Amino acid sequence: MRYSQILLPTLKEIPADAEVVSHRLLLRAGCIRKLTAGVYTYLPYGLAALRRVDQIVREEMNRAGAQELLMPMVQPADLWRETGRYEKYGPELLRFRDRHDRESCLGPTHEEVITDLVRREVRSYRDLPLNLYQIQTKFRDEIRPRFGLMRGREFVMKDAYSFDADDEQASRSYQLMYDTYQRIFHRCGLEFRAVEADSGTIGGSFSHEFMVLAKTGEDTIVFCTACEYAANVEKATVRPPKARVRPLEEEAELDLEKVETPGRRKVEAVCEFLEIKPRQLVKTMVYLADGLPVAVLVRGDREVQEVKLKNLLGVVDVELAADQQVYDATGVPTGYLGPVGITIRVVADQEVAAMRNFVVGANEKNYHLRNVNLGRDFAVEAVADLRQITTEDFCPVCGGALGLAEGIEVGHIFKLGTVYSEAMQALFQDSDGLEKPLVMGCYGIGVSRIVAAAIEQNHDENGIIFPIPLAPYQAVVLNLSLKDAEITGAAEALYEELRAAGLDILLDDRDERPGFKFKDADLLGIPFRITVGKRFLKDGIVELRHRRDGLTEELDPAQVIVRVRELVSAALNQE
């Protein structure tokens, strides 16, 4: 493509509303333009990067035996009501009525639609296993779309759905997709980790997220420094407290004692006043679980992990209660609440169950209780791992040290089991002639998010540094003197020969200053820059510059063609 013929409007200024690097650079490099909040137009250069991801995803899904189809974006509400998700999904599901007053929604995902299709077409175990996928636009009405393509309302996604006869076959399908995703993200040139994750609104028993490591990531992952364990912090398992080894007299339960703590409401203030450490105090946090109050007990220096709490309680939503809501539910002002004599449901983190003689609120303003013990002084509905993991904890698999990193979720795979097939009566006949529900899995990749994540991970102060597999063009040829016939002829010849060699090339044939062209080439992040200028007139040499590391090679035109082809081939053929 010739630069003079492509719509590629680069910007010098940093857009004011762009909060993260990828958003700024996608706008500045002429990849996207905002239509409305969270909705973008892909310009030719940005669409070309998107198509690179499409191609890799499609090749690997086909290689794994999945079959591509395309489902409607508009979905009837009745399908979602069969699974109960029409009411449960929340405001991100954009609902509307057509002229016939029929309720529909814009698809944020397609579990119901694909299950409806398969229940009509698959009858026998002989038709299984089956894996169907699509690459399609989704819409989720985010309350606060931000970060450009990282969290938009409209986005491009690959979603696949597997159907199997039993759990063993479904596990093989899951592993096949896990391996396929590993190849996809490796081929995209990304640094990533597969982590155990919560299944969220999709449901199912087990899932993995694929996270691109980047400082601007919205998610935090925990990983073991000694083994392969990695998990989203929402899912990361905290090892149960070790058995006590202190002498028996130190384990003795002391007499309950009520102490005055005037004006001390915060953990730090209470601990300072009573001359104890936060690890000797238990906080009583009140949450609203689907609107109903529940008290959660955690050690004073710990934080509640709300997703773990939601999963324990089996509810759709949990939120920390406001001060007035706490008082309305308990009759106690915040800061003095405790589990002894409390009238609402109580659950405790597993660490609390291992504590002895701890401090809690006395359910009376300006008072706390010393020497409180679970079992003797109060009971709880459940004990579970409910707290946020920290780097002070140890790997739940091998006991090694843990680290934390920021990541961007670009893929998520789920073991769904029979959640959807039972609800929608998607049945098949097994080898004994019995009807059974199909065992399902689903597998999503944020195609447009991969482009943004790649930029978050690959950029410098001058612009984008596209991994070669994702680059819209693999090299740009710069003609530094359009008025010089010999330079122009050499640039044109290089452009045509590189294209003939099977490469995607951009020829910068604009009548602009060399410095302007250099800056645009860096901004666009094209992997290789070939400069044809005065050095060609003098010595027959052109300059090949590597965008990633700034390495510069001086070669004759024939050598440049061979060299670029070798470099691109090596990057694209990595498995």
Residue 543 falls within a domain, yes or no?
yes
Residue 391 falls within a domain, yes or no?
no
109 and 215 housed in the same domain: yes
**Cis ω for the linkage preceding 15 (within 30 of 0):** no
211 and 264 housed in the same domain: no
Q: Which of 75, 89, 69, 218 is nearest to 158 (CA)?
A: 69
We report the CATH number of the domain holding residue 329 as 3.90.960.10
Segment 75-84 mean pLDDT: 96
Arithmetic mean of pLDDT over the chain: 93
Tokens representing 476 are: 């740009």
Residue type, 125: Y
Exposed e or buried b per residue across 32-64, where buried means at least 16 C-beta atoms within 10 angstroms of its C-beta: bebeeebebebbebbbbbbebbbebbbebbeeb
425 and 547 housed in the same domain: no
Strand order across the 292-299 sheet: 318-320, 282-289, 292-299, 345-349, 382-384
Residue 389 falls within a domain, yes or no?
no
252 and 163 housed in the same domain: no
pLDDT tens figures, 293-350: 999 999 999 999 999 999 899 998 899 999 999 999 999 999 999 999 999 999 999 9
pLDDT tens figures, 401-433: 999 999 999 999 999 999 999 999 999 999 999
pLDDT tens figures, 458-474: 999 999 999 999 999 99
Residue 40 falls within a domain, yes or no?
yes
227 and 136 housed in the same domain: yes
Q: Is the pLDDT of residue 49 over 90?
A: yes
Distance CA 340, CA 25 (A): 56
**Residues paired with residue 36 on neighbouring β-strands, in sequence order:** 39
Tokens representing 225 are: 């420094």
483 and 416 housed in the same domain: no
Tokens representing 72 are: 């409607």
Quote the pLDDT of residue 241.
83
Give the number of other CB atoms < 10 A from CB of residue 382. 11
Q: Is residue 19 classed as helix, strand or coil in its secondary structure?
A: coil
Q: Which helix (H) or strand (E) holds 346?
A: strand 345-349
pLDDT tens figures, 15-46: 888 889 999 999 999 999 999 999 999 999 99
> Could you give the angle at the alpha carbon of 109 between the alpha carbons of 175 and 51, nearest 5°?
75
We report the CATH number of the domain holding residue 522 as 3.40.50.800
Work out the pLDDT band at 247, boundaries 50, 70, 90.
very low
Quote the pLDDT of residue 27.
96
Q: Is the pLDDT of residue 87 over 50?
A: yes
Exposed e or buried b per residue across 150-189, where buried means at least 16 C-beta atoms within 10 angstroms of its C-beta: bbbbbbbbbbbbbbbbeeebbeebbebbeebbeebbbbbb
Segment 526-552 mean pLDDT: 93
Segment 544-555 mean pLDDT: 95
Distance CA 395, CA 381 (A): 28
Q: Which of 575, 435, 463, 314 is nearest to 14 (CA)?
A: 463
Quote the pLDDT of residue 246.
47
DSSP assignment letter at 380? -
Quote the pLDDT of residue 562.
95
Distance CA 265, CA 368 (A): 10
pLDDT tens figures, 173-230: 999 999 999 999 999 999 999 998 765 555 555 789 999 988 888 788 898 999 988 8
Residue 99 falls within a domain, yes or no?
yes
We report the CATH number of the domain holding residue 179 as 3.30.930.10
Work out the pLDDT band at 155, boundaries 50, 70, 90.
very high
Residue 336 falls within a domain, yes or no?
yes
* DSSP sequence for 142-190: -SS-BTGGGB-SEEEEEEEEEEESSHHHHHHHHHHHHHHHHHHHHHTT-
Q: Is the distance from CB of 351 to CB of 296 less than 8 angstroms? A: no
Quote the pLDDT of residue 204.
54
Quote the pLDDT of residue 306.
94
Tokens representing 140 are: 């989720």
Residue 477 buriedness (CB in 10 A; 0-12 / 13-18 / 19+): buried
Residue 466 falls within a domain, yes or no?
no
Tokens representing 340 are: 């002894």
Q: Which of 337, 318, 340 is nearest to 327 (CA)?
A: 337
Q: Is the distance from CB of 387 to CB of 274 less than 8 angstroms? A: no
Q: Is the distance from CB of 171 to CB of 190 less than 8 angstroms? A: no
Domain boundary among 384, 413, 436: 384
109 and 160 housed in the same domain: yes
Q: Which domain holds residue 259?
A: 248-384
Q: Which of 92, 18, 52, 360 is nearest to 190 (CA)?
A: 52
552 and 427 housed in the same domain: no
Distance CA 139, CA 106 (A): 6
Q: Is the pLDDT of residue 249 over 60?
A: no
Quote the pLDDT of residue 248.
45
Residue 242 falls within a domain, yes or no?
no
290 and 423 housed in the same domain: no
Q: Which of 231, 186, 176 is nearest to 209 (CA)?
A: 231
Pairing of strands 32-36, 39-42: antiparallel
Domain boundary among 320, 353, 384: 384
Q: Is residue 309 classed as helix, strand or coil in its secondary structure?
A: helix
167 and 32 housed in the same domain: yes
Residue 248 buriedness (CB in 10 A; 0-12 / 13-18 / 19+): exposed
Quote the pLDDT of residue 454.
96
179 and 276 housed in the same domain: no
Distance CA 175, CA 166 (A): 14
Distance CA 574, CA 99 (A): 52
Count how many domains the chain has. 3
206 and 160 housed in the same domain: yes
